[in-house]
Structure 1
Amino acid sequence: MADLTASTFVDRLRAAPRGAGGPVPSADEGEPRLGLAMGTIFNLAKEYLDLPLGEIEVLLDTPVYEARVGALSIMDKKARRRRTGAEERRGLYELYLRRMDRIDDWGLVDLGAQYVVGGYLQDKPRDVLYRLARSSNLWERRTAIWATMFFVRQGDTDDMYAIAELLVDDPEHFVQTVVGGMLRTAGDHDGDLLRAFLDRHAATMPRTALRYSIEHLDRPERDHYLSLAKGGGSQPRSSGSSRLP
């Protein structure tokens, strides 16, 4: 593509057909929205994988929600791409952390944290995740636990469990869902570690996180851990969905 700029990306967003479902909800309800389907934005992002980091930051600053979705989608796809070099991966990681003021809802965090943050930290110290887990900003805490998905999918669950220990009593629904979802995924790799965690925390952890975490256990075990629970910060979710809002 001849003109890889944030401006042309936004122009193409504005010209795209509107989706019936509309965009993922944003934390900032006053932000302008174009009403595009997420697939439309993701497909456009594929055409902009060579967009420079500076232009991605311009997209993040654009006062249109779908532009921010596009920025995170481009970052995610760049981070997944094998030919992306070490310096560019570092730049993506640093951009994500520097501009978390613009990564302020669950959909944006989930687009970028796993590969942009977790993927970069695969062979590096992971202290930053513990700092984020202790943040007063709920999206930074969600980033900390969601980034560990990259490690967990490779069977490395140590950091996930350590961060889950820090966040197990988190009062925010959007953190509880990821804590529970990550515990569930880690349990698929080693059920005994999950049971040990639940033995320590099931009686007191928020019920939302608990219900997510036990979803893949057998019914008698699910009933056992639910019987230990004394309630939590959020209402239980529908048992039929495994989406992580």
Structure 2
Amino acid sequence: MADGASSGARGRVDATAVLLTADALAAAIDAAGSPEAAAGAGRFFRTGPGQYGEGDVFVGVRVPVTRALVRRAVGMPGTEASALLASPVHEHRLAGLLVLVERYRRATAPRTRDDAERDALHARYLAQVRGGRVNNWDLVDASAEWLVGDWLLGPPAHGVAAVLDPLAASPSLWERRVAMLATFAFIKAGDAGPTLRYARRLLDDREDLIHKAVGWMLREVGKRVDAATLLAFLDENAPAMARTALSYASEHLDPAERVRLRAL
């Protein structure tokens, strides 16, 4: 799919066509690509030897353009979206995830509620995560909140620990980030509990991208749930937190409070 939808398809995609197959959407993405933007994305997403995105391939399409193309592919079957996730091209995988998220959101809306579809999309997503195809921070951040977090919220509510504990304990950086980002759905529902639980578990993680995820979610607890809850967590845990996590978590606090926390 990825090879056949590359350079040979450039410039030949109908700008108004409905995109219902992996090949069609991949070709549209490739046609919108730019070698210069691809080179920049490779540097930004750290694709060099030994870096977290080593070996990832970009065609150079901005995210708003990818999202616009995905809006023409919302009727795409889940099997086709999964085919996109098998592509070596980063933007193809992002598009596949965005299709799954859009399908999930439609299956969650009151007028189009479909619990069987929600369950199937959640299972399909976890299979892709465990298969190593959701393998960069933007891919996780665009999908985990919905396809894991919102699904756990229900209704019916599902067992949070049964899903998130194995992810948080995984040797895969990306699975651990999925666990942390999934708690965003709980934050938006006013529940800081899962975020605080998994932030504690990941405090001693060695990866900077996990430090950033932990700090970001803690910051959102302070903004969206309760600032006092955030401060209590930081008072208890600041001495054990990586500098990046503490910086992110305290970003919106009073400067004097930030200095106090850093001194801990």
Mark yes or no: TM-score above 0.5: yes
Alpha carbons 2:19, 2:76 under 8 Å: kept: no
Structure 1 position 18, deviation (Å): 3.1
Distance 1:8 1:168, change over 3 A: same
Aligned letter for 1:219? P
Counterpart CA distance in 2 for 1:77 and 1:221 is 40
2:170 aligned with 1:135: yes
What do residues 199-241 of structure 1 show as CA deviations (whole Å, max 9, x unaligned)? 111112100000001111111111100111xxxxxxxxxxxxx
Counterpart CA distance in 1 for 2:210 and 2:119 is 26
**Among residues 62, 69, 77, which one is paired with 1:44 in the alignment?**
69
**Among residues 107, 116, 125, which one is paired with 2:159 in the alignment?**
125
Distance 1:180 1:15, change over 3 A: same
Higher relative contact order, chain-length normalized (CA < 8 Å, sep 6+)? 1
Residue 191 (structure 1) aligns with? 227
Residue 201 (structure 2) aligns with? 166
Counterpart CA distance in 2 for 1:33 and 1:185 is 31
Where 1:104 maps in the other structure, the secondary structure is coil
Alignment of structure 1 residues 82-231 onto 2, 5 Å: 82=109, 83=112, 85-100=114-129, 101-122=132-153, 123-127=157-161, 128-188=163-223, 189-228=225-264
Q: Where do 5+ consecutive residues of structure 1 fail to align? A: 229-245
Counterpart CA distance in 2 for 1:6 and 1:54 is 9
Aligned letter for 1:125? G
Distance 1:32 1:153, change over 3 A: same
Alpha carbons 1:184, 1:214 under 8 Å: kept: yes
Counterpart CA distance in 2 for 1:87 and 1:94 is 11
Counterpart CA distance in 2 for 1:136 and 1:3 is 36
Q: Where do 5+ consecutive residues of structure 2 fail to align? A: 1-16
**Among residues 96, 102, 111, which one is paired with 1:77 in the alignment?**
102
Aligned letter for 2:95? G
Structure 1 position 31, deviation (Å): 3.5
Structure 1 position 152, deviation (Å): 0.2
Alpha carbons 1:19, 1:36 under 8 Å: kept: no
Q: With the length of structure 2 as denominator, give the TM-score of the two structures.
A: 0.81
Counterpart CA distance in 1 for 2:182 and 2:261 is 27
Distance 1:224 1:70, change over 3 A: same
Structure 1 position 17, deviation (Å): 5.0
Aligned letter for 1:182? M
Q: Which structure 1 residue ranges, 4+ long, deviate > 6 Å from structure 2?
A: none
Counterpart CA distance in 1 for 2:33 and 2:59 is 10
Counterpart CA distance in 2 for 1:95 and 1:197 is 34
What do residues 125-166 of structure 1 show as CA deviations (whole Å, max 9, x unaligned)? 112112211111111110001011011011111111111110
Counterpart CA distance in 1 for 2:139 and 2:103 is 15
Structure 1 position 16, deviation (Å): 2.1
Decide which moves more: 81-90 or 54-63.
81-90
Decide which moves more: 85-94 or 110-119.
85-94
Aligned letter for 2:65? T
Structure 1 position 4, deviation (Å): 1.1
Counterpart CA distance in 2 for 1:19 and 1:121 is 40
Counterpart CA distance in 1 for 2:33 and 2:241 is 44
Structure 1 position 63, deviation (Å): 2.1
Counterpart CA distance in 1 for 2:18 and 2:228 is 54
- The percentage of aligned residue pairs carrying the same residue is 36
Counterpart CA distance in 2 for 1:3 and 1:102 is 22
Aligned letter for 1:68? R
Q: With the length of structure 1 as denominator, give the TM-score of the two structures.
A: 0.87
